[in-house]
Structure 1
Amino acid sequence: METRAGRLAVLAYHSSPLSEPGSGDSGGMSVYVRETAARLAGLSVQTDIFTRAATDLPWVVELTPGVRVVGIKAGPGRPIPKEQLPAHLDEFSAGVRIFSMGQHVAYDVVHSHYWQSGVAAEKLANIWDVPLVHSNHTLGALKNRFLAPEDEPEPAGRIEAERRVMNRADVLIASTDQEYEQLACLYGAGHDRLKTIHPGVDHDLFSPGDTSTARRLLGLPKDRPSLVVVGRIQPLKGLGLAIEAVDHLRHALDRPPLLSIIGGASGRTGDDELRRLHRLVADRGVADLVRFVGPVPHADLPSYYRAADLTLVCSHYESFGLTALESQACGTPIIGTAVGALSFVVRDGRSGFLIPSRDPSDLAARAKTLLSDPDLARTFGVGSVASAERFSWDRTAGALSELYDCLMSERLPEACTC
């Protein structure tokens, strides 16, 4: 489908696409916003990405030709906890309007990411009289339903704000068919305003590579089974299960496994969770089996996936599971919990194993199956690459571009979701 040129305002209020994912508030959403904007530029869609400037002055950075990241002053000129950010949404909306007027720029579509951005986007879309597209990325109602024992529930104010944004948005983007149904059943979103567009993966960056070379590059032992966990450290990610599974696994293998945990503390309970994990390592006596690497640049992650025999994904819930997708693109199978969209991203029994329980012995048993059978592991590695090939950022951007084009030309948004 040939698309017409357009100008897009993207709101990523709480997390800048310039930030490296893996700690603080930066995660898969930042990757999504950055990757889709870059590819939309190749389809003649010019994008301004608005985020809160954690500085005293606003700023503008060209991410790639046709894509600008605009820092809008809203609240203190420093990082603040995500829970304090809603108080500054009016200032943020006003700042976006001032930028638009000062630049003499008119936008054809507004696309907001996460509920806080959606609150700001409501006002802007009304003032500019343009269509509003919204992506949730996570849902407060689902986070509360699958709440980790050490976590705090999402406040009622967030869930109510999510409902308001969903009622106002012209189109709601679901990452999977499962999220499509959750938006309809939990939030009452009409099917005529829902559209499923899968996230993608950068196959130029995340691709199979030599395991020995990767381990040498990272200084990892070449003869020990290697496992990796990638993600922000917060109770929702359930990293204690990975540590407990490694404790079980060491008694089942003839060589001691090594678990690398990639990521930093995130959210209001992140620091407490990191301390709890360190205590768990000490209590289990597995300090020689677990290494906390901390956050690493996104471009360096392929080396960690290639160096690993398996990637563990132990979340209590996953709205999509970008880590699992990037790992599979590198040919590294997944051992994970059967939650959320992981059952869609991972092909159980072909690109990994999904465990219906949170019993660490079950996770360890499945890991042993692949670690003890090189031929099966190779078959799963091939299956992982095939599973990941179903997704690409080019396809994601193409679907978004068609949606924006339709919204610019059709009077009724529901004509664009069929």
Structure 2
Amino acid sequence: MSTSFAQQSPTGPARIRAERGRRGTKVLIGTDTYPPDVNGAAYFTARLARGLVERGAEVHLLCPSPSGVPHVVVRDGVIEHRLRSMPSLAHESVRLALPPGVRGHLDRLLERLRPDAVHIQNHFLIGRMLARAAHDHDVPVIATNHFMPENLFDHLRVPRPLRPYTARLAWWDLGRVLSRVEHVTTPTPAAARLLLDQGFARPVEPVSCGIDLDRFHPLPARSALSERRRLRGRFGLADRTTMLFVGRLDEEKNADELIRSLAHTPDVQLALAGQGSHRGRLEELARAERVADRVVFLGFVAHEDLPDVYRCADVFTIAGTAELQSIATLEAMASGLPIVAVDAMALPHLVEEGRNGYLYPPGSPIELAARVNAVVSDEAVRARLGEHSRSMAERHRLEDSLERFEAIYRRAGAIVPAQRGTT
């Protein structure tokens, strides 16, 4: 019995689903920030893309060109489609994709690739353009939210009296974009609740950013002291008790509280790894507080050197009040460090009081110092807290996060287009 041509060669959505079933996962990730940008969302997206490739997926990534010139390049198996861009007035390292001509490029790219899913990491320029184009091409869209308005106030020079109104507008805009996608994730339950508290009516799934437990690990106990001494020398640190912060030195990170706490921790030095707009102010504060001899600004630390920076420290401290998870804190935990963190946003998810560290009230450097002293005054206590940090980090295996995202892509790709609706 003969078979019709239509049965042999399905067209439209049926053809796309048939093709998806015959190959491995193919995903197109869209983001407004990606390395060489230095921020948590960029680093997460890079780990996600490279991790998916290692698991056999075909990964295409759409992001701004760091030079401004559009091009395609393959790095670590990820096919980067770099869009024409211009410098951002808000941040020295972030560039903005130029919208003219982008929609036609997206249409051609989606028609050629036919990915199982599009995964947007931001709701700004690239994220919203790609989401709309993907829906027009019957490609499901997953969104991961890394955004809080507080992360932009300082860069955009928003006056403090206007920040509440700006925040409400920003949350409304985010909700409008996310309401059009098939599945929304964010790194922690606290970050998911925050979206719901801001009026977002759709389910939000917490999926940890994940951590590479092989790359970030504690020093071997038998050689820890000598190796830590060697690493401190390598980074220009004195061989003394060290509290560490890794991250941007920008307003919402509140690194000034870490510096002010040193007046109450006389035997401790602070190492700050990262760059940011507030570095000059922090240097002035260290001098004003008369602790400049115990504050070391390490500046930008290369990706390959970061594990050794954690191994220099005795305790990791973080004062940022706008953390949706904090990849740096996870890295510190995986490295076997006790944690002293501000009791704000998602950080309490990473601290079990008295078991892997302590929380302190926002804006209280004296309380921060008391917690640090409780950690470092007894080496046995410090070691016990660090061991539990490592065991907690094991709940955030990168492989588990990658596996979950792959499952989300497959499920979204299996949904009948009519059930998804349109933008």
Shared fold per TM-score greater than 0.5:
yes
1:228 aligns with 2:228: no
Deviations 1:6-39 (A, max 9, x none): 21110112x12x32xxxxx521212211112222
- Secondary structure, counterpart of 2:293 in structure 1: coil
1:198 — aligned with what? 208
2:116 pairs, out of 108, 111, 118, with 108
2:348 — aligned with what? 343
Gaps of 5+ in 2: 1-20
**Count of residue pairs brought into register by the alignment:** 387
Partner AA of 2:251 in structure 1: P
1:216 aligns with 2:227: no
1:9 — aligned with what? 28
Partner AA of 1:212 in structure 2: S
Partner AA of 1:114 in structure 2: N
1:264 aligns with 2:275: yes
Shift of 1:124: 1.7
Flag the 1:185–1:56 CA change in 2: closer, same or farther, 3 A. Answer: closer
1:289 — aligned with what? 294
Q: After superposition, where does 1:8-407 map in structure 2 within 5 Å? A: 8-13=27-32, 15-16=33-34, 18-19=35-36, 25-65=37-77, 67-74=78-85, 76=86, 78=87, 81=90, 88-89=98-99, 91-100=101-110, 104-116=112-124, 117-140=126-149, 153=163, 154=166, 158-191=170-203, 194-209=204-219, 210-219=224-233, 220=236, 223-250=239-266, 256-265=267-276, 270=277, 273-407=278-412
Gaps of 5+ in 1: 20-24, 251-255
Shift of 1:156: 5.8
In the alignment, the residues of structure 2 paired with residue 85 and residue 223 of structure 1 have an alpha-carbon distance, to the nearest angstrom, of 40
Q: Is residue 28–residue 60 contact of structure 2 (8 Å, CA) maintained in 1? A: yes
Shift of 1:288: 0.4
- Secondary structure, counterpart of 1:168 in structure 2: coil
Deviations 1:352-375 (A, max 9, x none): 111124211111111111111111
Shift of 1:299: 2.2
Partner AA of 2:250 in structure 1: Q
Flag the 1:186–1:51 CA change in 2: closer, same or farther, 3 A. Answer: same
Flag the 1:40–1:213 CA change in 2: closer, same or farther, 3 A. Answer: same
Give the TM-score normalised by the residue count of structure 2. Answer: 0.83
Give the TM-score normalised by the residue count of structure 1. Answer: 0.84
Structure showing greater relative contact order (alpha-carbon pairs closer than 8 Å, 6 or more residues apart): 1
Flag the 1:113–1:312 CA change in 2: closer, same or farther, 3 A. Answer: same
In the alignment, the residues of structure 1 paired with residue 401 and residue 22 of structure 2 have an alpha-carbon distance, to the nearest angstrom, of 15
Q: Is residue 72–residue 96 contact of structure 1 (8 Å, CA) maintained in 2? A: no
Shift of 1:349: 1.6
Shift of 1:122: 2.5
Deviations 1:33-69 (A, max 9, x none): 111222222333211111111324222222223x212
Partner AA of 2:142 in structure 1: V
In the alignment, the residues of structure 2 paired with residue 368 and residue 163 of structure 1 have an alpha-carbon distance, to the nearest angstrom, of 43
Q: Is residue 341–residue 360 contact of structure 2 (8 Å, CA) maintained in 1? A: yes
Q: Is residue 100–residue 106 contact of structure 1 (8 Å, CA) maintained in 2? A: yes
Shift of 1:73: 0.9
1:253 — aligned with what? none
Partner AA of 1:72 in structure 2: L
Deviations 1:271-321 (A, max 9, x none): xx2222111111111110101110111221111111101111011221101
In the alignment, the residues of structure 1 paired with residue 81 and residue 158 of structure 2 have an alpha-carbon distance, to the nearest angstrom, of 38
Shift of 1:126: 2.4
Shift of 1:121: 2.4
In the alignment, the residues of structure 2 paired with residue 141 and residue 262 of structure 1 have an alpha-carbon distance, to the nearest angstrom, of 21
Q: Is residue 31–residue 121 contact of structure 2 (8 Å, CA) maintained in 1? A: yes
Q: Is residue 8–residue 46 contact of structure 1 (8 Å, CA) maintained in 2? A: yes
1:409 aligns with 2:414: yes
In the alignment, the residues of structure 2 paired with residue 212 and residue 68 of structure 1 have an alpha-carbon distance, to the nearest angstrom, of 42
In the alignment, the residues of structure 1 paired with residue 45 and residue 202 of structure 2 have an alpha-carbon distance, to the nearest angstrom, of 25
Partner AA of 2:298 in structure 1: V
In the alignment, the residues of structure 2 paired with residue 221 and residue 87 of structure 1 have an alpha-carbon distance, to the nearest angstrom, of 40
Moved more, 200-209 or 344-353: 344-353
In the alignment, the residues of structure 2 paired with residue 382 and residue 288 of structure 1 have an alpha-carbon distance, to the nearest angstrom, of 31
Let me know the Cα RMSD of the aligned residues: 2.9
- Secondary structure, counterpart of 1:70 in structure 2: strand
Deviations 1:103-147 (A, max 9, x none): x32222111112214322222222222111111112227987xxx
- Secondary structure, counterpart of 2:28 in structure 1: strand
Flag the 1:198–1:414 CA change in 2: closer, same or farther, 3 A. Answer: farther
Shift of 1:165: 0.8
